[in-house]
């Protein structure tokens, strides 16, 4: 019995020693194309020998760099001066998805050996999100795109105000040669619900921030020389806003006004100074509506876009503004009058030609009848009279001398 107890005691002591000597694994998350640090700290001592392994394959030895053909060739290094101070951290430049895995740092010194395991995760976070209206499919659809992401993100849609219809987006995940994903999600615009806000949300599986982009489209008509208000309202989930207005008349958009949320003041482009007005007191409450003063058809007709932005969230309102010009209206009315006149002239011409044809036809008949000779007319009449008498005589019955009818 005493021998059995001794064996168990020795076994437990070994487990305790192993647990004491074991160093917990380090977990490091790095981003694609960025510099990455894999830590390895040990008690400083003399005669250091450092080696980094990956799945039991030597990646780097102290004072050396990986040879050509190895996975970390030209991208990994350890600083010799830092090793003397007990720091054998591996610096990995331009991290890639292929660098994921478990690494082990083994240090041998005059005071003993030291080992550290590092689990490296490489991710490609969301850097930006685009949302726009597309008509390339033959109908209007909202297109939400996020590029170069790993692992594949999750895309969801919503509207404001919420609708009773089921949202049925089509989402595709496409991977490139590097293993990075592009998420392309499209949602058909709902008919009969103008000025609806479409919201695209993208989340990642590693628990990073949720990115949100929303868009509303509208059309506005104004008159030249009359002030026009272009509405812009932020959804309720946005706060601490930054606001920017841009304008496009078929070319690349240009910034025309920026609102500074810290100072509460707005700055407009020099060429728009006398045409724009923004109420800075309303912007913090989500009202970034812009007043367009004394608009001109030539210079101010086009697409106006306001963008509310904050970290990971943007809201865009795009307004197609048509400026009616009195000159253009007069030109249109003159063109309309001109075509009415042309139509009237054509109609009168047709009537005159028809009347002339009728007149000429009747005159031809009259000329034909008057061209006959009087003697021929008299002779014709006499012939007609003789024929008439003969017809009458043929119709009378034969009579005898006593007035009775009988055979002839």
pLDDT tens per residue across span 101-159: 999 999 988 888 899 999 999 999 999 999 999 988 788 999 999 999 999 999 999 99
| Bridge partner residues of 54 (DSSP) | 57, 103
Sign of CA dihedral 158, 159, 165, 168: negative
Q: Which of 30-34, 62-66, 82-86 has the lowest mean pLDDT?
A: 62-66
Q: Rounded to an integer, what distance in angstroms lies between the CA atom of residue 17 and that of residue 287? A: 67
- Share of residues in the chain with pLDDT > 90 (%): 46
Q: Rounded to an integer, what distance in angstroms lies between the CA atom of residue 405 and that of residue 401? A: 9
DSSP structural state of residue 401: T
Q: Per-residue pLDDT tens for 8-46?
A: 444 444 444 343 344 558 899 999 999 999 999 998 888
Confidence of residue 90 (pLDDT cuts 50, 70, 90): very high
What is the spatial order of strands in the sheet that 313-324 belongs to? 154-160, 197-203, 211-223, 313-324, 302-310, 242-248, 254-260, 265-268
Q: What phi, psi does 255 have (nearest 5°)? A: -75, 130
- Neighbouring residues of 271: CB distance < 8 A, sequence distance ≥ 6: none
DSSP structural state of residue 251: S
Other beta carbons within 10 angstroms of residue 371's beta carbon come to 7
Structure tokens at 138: 């033959």
Q: Rounded to an integer, what distance in angstroms lies between the CA atom of residue 1 and that of residue 110? A: 42
At 123 the three-state DSSP class reads: strand
Structure tokens at 153: 């993100």
Q: Rounded to an integer, what distance in angstroms lies between the CA atom of residue 40 and that of residue 59? A: 14
Strand residues in 189-270 grouped as ranges (E) = 197-203, 211-223, 228-230, 242-248, 254-260, 265-268
288 neighbors 232 (Cβ within 8 angstroms): yes
Structure tokens at 395: 């119709």
- Say what the pLDDT of residue 352 is: 79
Which position has the token pair 């509207």? 159
CATH annotation of 23-123: 2.60.40.10
Structure tokens at 328: 């253009």
More confident residue, 174 or 49: 174
| Bridge partner residues of 158 (DSSP) | 199
Distance of CA 272 to the CA centre of its chain: 27
Q: Where in the chain is the domain with CATH 2.60.40.10?
A: 23-123, 124-209, 215-329
Q: Rounded to an integer, what distance in angstroms lies between the CA atom of residue 119 and that of residue 142? A: 40
- Neighbouring residues of 6: CB distance < 8 A, sequence distance ≥ 6: none
At 84 the three-state DSSP class reads: helix
More confident residue, 80 or 120: 120
Give, for 326, the enclosing helix (H) or strand (E).
helix 326-370
More confident residue, 359 or 395: 359
**Average pLDDT score, the chain:** 81
pLDDT > 50? residue 395: no
pTM of the model: 0.69
Q: Rounded to an integer, what distance in angstroms lies between the CA atom of residue 390 and that of residue 360? A: 41
Q: Rounded to an integer, what distance in angstroms lies between the CA atom of residue 345 and that of residue 250? A: 41
CATH 3.90.470.10 fits 215-329, yes or no: no
CATH annotation of 124-209: 2.60.40.10
């Amino acid at each position: 019995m005493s021998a059995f107890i001794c064996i168990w005691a020795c076994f437990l002591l070994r487990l305790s020693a192993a647990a004491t000597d074991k160093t917990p694994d380090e977990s490091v998350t790095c981003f694609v194309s960025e510099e990455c640090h894999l830590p390895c700290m040990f008690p400083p001592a003399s005669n250091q020998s450092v080696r980094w392994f990956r799945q039991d394959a030597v990646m780097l030895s102290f004072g050396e760099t990986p040879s050509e053909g190895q996975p970390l060739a030209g991208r990994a290094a350890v600083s010799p001066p830092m090793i003397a101070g007990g720091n054998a951290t591996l610096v990995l430049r331009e991290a890639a998805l292929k660098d994921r895995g478990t690494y082990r740092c083994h240090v041998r010194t005059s005071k003993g050996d030291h080992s550290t395991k590092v689990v490296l995760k490489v991710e490609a976070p969301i850097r930006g999100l685009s949302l726009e209206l597309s008509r390339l499919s033959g109908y209007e659809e909202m297109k939400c795109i996020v590029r170069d992401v790993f692992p594949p993100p999750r895309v969801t849609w919503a509207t404001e105000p919420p609708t009773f219809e089921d949202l049925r987006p089509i989402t595709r995940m496409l991977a490139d040669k590097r293993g990075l994903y592009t998420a392309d999600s499209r949602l058909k615009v709902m008919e009969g619900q103008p000025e609806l806000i479409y919201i695209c949300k993208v989340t990642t599986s590693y628990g990073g921030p949720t990115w949100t982009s929303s868009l509303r489209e509208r059309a506005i008509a104004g008159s030249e020389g009359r002030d026009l208000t272009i509405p812009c309202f932020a959804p309720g989930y946005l706060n601490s806003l930054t606001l920017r207005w841009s304008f496009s008349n078929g070319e690349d958009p240009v910034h025309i006004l920026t609102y500074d949320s810290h100072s509460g003041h707005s700055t407009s482009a020099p060429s728009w100074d006398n045409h724009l007005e923004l109420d800075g007191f309303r912007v913090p409450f989500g009202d970034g509506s812009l007043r367009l003063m004394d608009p001109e058809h030539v210079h101010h007709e086009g697409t106006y876009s306001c963008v509310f932005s904050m970290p990971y969230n943007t809201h865009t309102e795009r307004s197609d503004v048509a400026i009616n010009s009195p000159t253009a209206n007069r030109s249109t009315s003159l063109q309309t009058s001109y075509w009415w006149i042309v139509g009237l002239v054509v109609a009168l011409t047709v009537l005159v030609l028809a009347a002339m044809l009728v007149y000429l036809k009747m005159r031809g008949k009259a000329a034909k009848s008057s061209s006959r000779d009087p003697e021929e007319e008299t002779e014709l009449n006499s012939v007609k009279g003789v024929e008439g008498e003969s017809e009458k005589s043929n119709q009378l019955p034969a009579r005898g001398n006593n007035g009775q009818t009988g055979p002839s």
